[in-house]
Amino acid sequence: MDTAYLIETIIKVVVVLLIFSALAGIGTYFERKILAFMQRRLGPMNVGPYGLLQVAADGIKLFTKEDIIPTNVVGRIFKIAPVITAATAFMAAAAIPFLPQFELFGYTVHPIIADVNIGILYILGIMGVGLYGPLLGGMASANKFSLLSAARSAAVFISYEVVTGLSILAPIMMVGSLSLIDFNEYQSGGFGDWIVWSQPVAFILFWIAAFAETGRTPFHLVANDHEIIDGFGTEYSGMRWGLFFIGEYANMFFISFVIPLLFLGGYGDGSFLGALGLLAKMSFFFFFFLWTRAAWPDVRPDQLMWLCWKVLMPIAVINIVITGFVMMF
Amino acid sequence: MKNTEVFNNRNVSENGYYLVDIADYPTDGWGKFKRVVKRTFRGELFVGLWVVLREMIKFDIHTIQYPQEKMPIGPRYRAVHEMKRLWESDAERCIGCGLCEKICISNCIKMDTRIDEHSRKEVSEYTINLGRCIFCGYCAEVCPELAITHGGEYEQASEQREHFVDYSYMLTPLDKMKAGTQVEFEGFGSITPHEDERVKKTPLAY
Ligand code: SF4
Ligand code: SF4
């Protein structure tokens, strides 16, 4: 492994970390604004022009707040849990090609940190590990509502891992590779080549499961909204709570990248227009997360389980079987 | 300011209220299955999405930015008291009768009077403890001179529960009087409109 490659990778890691930590902050601004507009409010207006500096104010608040470790919590696990959430969210980013490769000062940059040939498996696996953040945080909190929420989110995450995995299996069979770059190449022919046309069911299943994986409304069961407390994060304060938050928003951004890469042609042929297209698609999926939050109510946990095991999983299996038959004959 | 609500029609049966048509819940498995399929393909979720998107595009924001903008309040609103002056002479209307102090049910008016150099009774001390005042309006109603009334100033903050306003604070300033901008209170205790036409002469001959 030569030095140039090492330096390039480190630079890419730092850039991705910085951009997406900042985006996670700005994401909260977008979320507040869009939710506000949809509910005919104005949202944050006072800090900076149109409330733009609200993000900075929140950041300062989170960083300077006292880091409270309550009595009776299991200290070490309590402290490490938010780090797991944030770290796994960013680790998943390693296998995502954010842009097509481009030339910078005569040097070809691949905007993917590691083009591992099991990219999708890696991303799903890391996102699965992300479950330990809420789970350990809730279990270590010495608060029964945190514990309830942690158990519930664990159940949701594990169940919807199944749907995610099964729904993605059919496209993987068609492409014959687990690398996101290969997925993109497969669809690079243009609009008609998008996998969503041949696998609409898988697309919708994956999209639905993405809501559960990121814990967003209508599957926002990680927070105990109906118990009027904030779920597994109840006992957390300051930057530890902020890490949970950054993890959640970074996850939303990464999933919003993964869905178009898998189903909607990614960055297409790799031209500048294709790159813009990927960003536009990503923005739409991120916007959709906020949109549903304004429009839809949360479902009950039992309804969520019912949806997963009795509806989505059978459909995913049938989809795989049909895909297999079509490919065989 | 447009009036957005019809306040005087409280008859709910005429306001378009109707019973929502709720179908019976299915009891058997097949019925439940049919309901799931029907709900799945009826696209209700998209109706919800469209409604919020439409509101966002219309951008018809219904909130006001409070400290900079304020909602208009009714002329009968009972907020912090005011002391009025006579229109003819700009003199204070209050004659120091003490009725308001007497009637105040939360005992928050405290006043004192003295005889001034023209041998007239004059208010020397007058405070209202707004921390105790319940803004019932009795003082404004009992006042024989329409001197103490309520005003529209509802923003009062203080560091402690006792919060006193005194006579000079409530009294209409002289320059406002000169400009003729003193506003009569229309609420509790004020004279009804067209009172002149309805008033009768006292019959002296029995
Ligand atoms: S409004 Fe009622 S409570 Fe307040 S000062 Fe007048 S009589 Fe007293
Ligand atoms: S009732 Fe009216 S006139 Fe009498 S003391 Fe009170 S404010 Fe003055």
Q: How far apart are CA A256 and CA A247, in angstroms?
A: 14
In sign, the C-alpha dihedral spanning B176, B178, B180, B186 is positive
Q: Hey, is the C-beta of B69 within 8 angstroms of any chain A C-beta?
A: no
Asked if A127 contacts A210 with a C-beta cutoff of 8 angstroms, the reply is: no
Asked if A268 contacts A190 with a C-beta cutoff of 8 angstroms, the reply is: yes
DSSP one-letter code for A219: S
B15 occurs within a structural domain: no
User: What's the predicted TM-score (pTM) here?
Assistant: 0.83
- Read off the pLDDT of each residue in B143-147 and give the average, rounded to a whole number: 92
Q: Which of A94-98, B138-142, B189-193 has the lowest mean pLDDT?
A: B189-193
Closest residue by Cα to atom 6, ligand 2, is B100
Q: How far apart are CA A119 and CA A177, in angstroms?
A: 9
Is there a contact between B56 and A296 if contact means CB atoms under 8 Å apart? Answer: no
In sign, the C-alpha dihedral spanning B184, B190, B192, B196 is negative
Candidates B55, B62, B65; nearest CB to A38: B55
Quote the pLDDT of residue B41. 85
ipTM computed for the complex: 0.84
- Read off the pLDDT of each residue in B101-119 and give the average, rounded to a whole number: 93
Candidates A42, A291, A296; nearest CB to B53: A291
CATH (domain of B98)? 3.30.70.3270
Quote the pLDDT of residue A87. 92
- The β-bridge partners of A103 are A108
B102 occurs within a structural domain: yes
CA of B170 relative to ligand 1 center, distance in Å? 14
Quote the pLDDT of residue B1. 44
Cβ-Cβ contacts under 8 Å, A45 against chain B = 65
B30 occurs within a structural domain: no
B186 occurs within a structural domain: yes
Quote the pLDDT of residue A1. 62
B102 lines ligand 1 (CB under 6 A): no
Phi and psi at B20, nearest 5°, equal: -75, 140
Q: How far apart are CA B161 and CA A124, in angstroms?
A: 59
Pocket of ligand 2 (CB under 6 A): B 94-100, 142-143, 145, 147-148
CA of B165 relative to ligand 1 center, distance in Å? 13
Q: How far apart are CA A120 and CA A116, in angstroms?
A: 9
pLDDT band per the 50, 70, 90 thresholds, residue B148: very high
Asked if A226 contacts A54 with a C-beta cutoff of 8 angstroms, the reply is: no
DSSP one-letter code for A300: P
pLDDT of B113 > 80? The answer is yes
Whose tokens are 């949970």? That residue is: A244
Asked if A150 contacts A137 with a C-beta cutoff of 8 angstroms, the reply is: yes
Q: Which helix (H) or strand (E) holds A209?
A: helix A200-214
Count of alpha carbons within 13 angstroms of residue A134, beta-carbon side: 32
Is there a contact between A37 and B48 if contact means CB atoms under 8 Å apart? Answer: no
B135 lines ligand 1 (CB under 6 A): yes
pLDDT band per the 50, 70, 90 thresholds, residue B14: low
B63 occurs within a structural domain: no
Is there a contact between B63 and A42 if contact means CB atoms under 8 Å apart? Answer: yes
Quote the pLDDT of residue B2. 47
Is there a contact between A291 and B60 if contact means CB atoms under 8 Å apart? Answer: no
Residue B166 is part of which domain span?
81-190
Asked if A104 contacts A111 with a C-beta cutoff of 8 angstroms, the reply is: no
Q: How far apart are CA A157 and CA A187, in angstroms?
A: 29
pLDDT of B205 > 80? The answer is no
Quote the pLDDT of residue B198. 84
Q: What is the 3-state secondary structure (H, E, C) of chain B?
A: CCCCCCCCCCCHHHCCCCCCCCCCCCCCHHHHHHHHHHHHHHCHHHHHHHHHHHHHHHCCCCCCCCCCCCCCCCCCCCCCEEECECCCCCCECCCCCCHHHHHCCCCCEEEEEEECCCCCEEEEEEEEECCCCCCCCHHHHHCCCCCEEECCCCCCCCCCCCCEEEHHHHECCHHHHHCCCCCCCCCCCCCCCCHHHHCCCCCCCC
- Give the tokens for residue A40: 């005919």
Candidates A40, A295, A311; nearest CB to B62: A40
Name the most confidently modeled range: A109-113, B18-22, B70-74. Answer: B70-74
For chain B, the domain total comes to: 1
Quote the pLDDT of residue B203. 79
Q: Hey, is the C-beta of A310 within 8 angstroms of any chain B C-beta?
A: no
Q: What is the pLDDT of residues B40-52, one digit of tens each?
A: 888 888 999 999 9
For residue A16, the tally of other CB atoms under 10 A from its CB is: 19
pLDDT of B6 > 60? The answer is no
* A contact residues 28-57, partner B, Cβ 8 Å cutoff: 34, 37-42, 45
Cβ-Cβ contacts under 8 Å, B36 against chain A = 311
- Atom of ligand 1 minimally distant from the CA of B106: 3
Quote the pLDDT of residue B12. 64
pLDDT of B36 > 50? The answer is yes
Q: How far apart are CA A36 and CA A227, in angstroms?
A: 23
Which residue pairs, CB below 8 angstroms and at least 24 apart, start in A314-318?
Answer: A315/A201, A315/A205, A316/A162, A316/A163, A316/A166, A316/A167, A316/A169, A316/A201, A316/A202, A316/A205, A317/A166
B43 occurs within a structural domain: no
Closest residue by Cα to atom 4, ligand 2, is B97
Of residues B14 and A73, more confidently modeled: A73
Candidates A41, A296, A311; nearest CB to B45: A296
- Ligand 2 mutation pick, B84, B85, B97, max ligand atoms within 8 A of CB: B97
Q: Which of A264-273, B70-79, B158-167 has the lowest mean pLDDT?
A: A264-273
**pLDDT profile of chain A (329 residues), mean per 10:** 84 91 89 93 89 90 90 91 92 88 79 85 89 91 88 89 92 90 86 89 94 86 74 87 89 92 86 89 94 89 90 94 92
Is there a contact between A41 and B51 if contact means CB atoms under 8 Å apart? Answer: no
CA of B124 relative to ligand 2 center, distance in Å? 13
Phi and psi at B129, nearest 5°, equal: -90, 100
Quote the pLDDT of residue B188. 83
B134 occurs within a structural domain: yes
Q: What is the pLDDT of residues A16-38, one digit of tens each?
A: 999 988 888 888 999 999 999 99
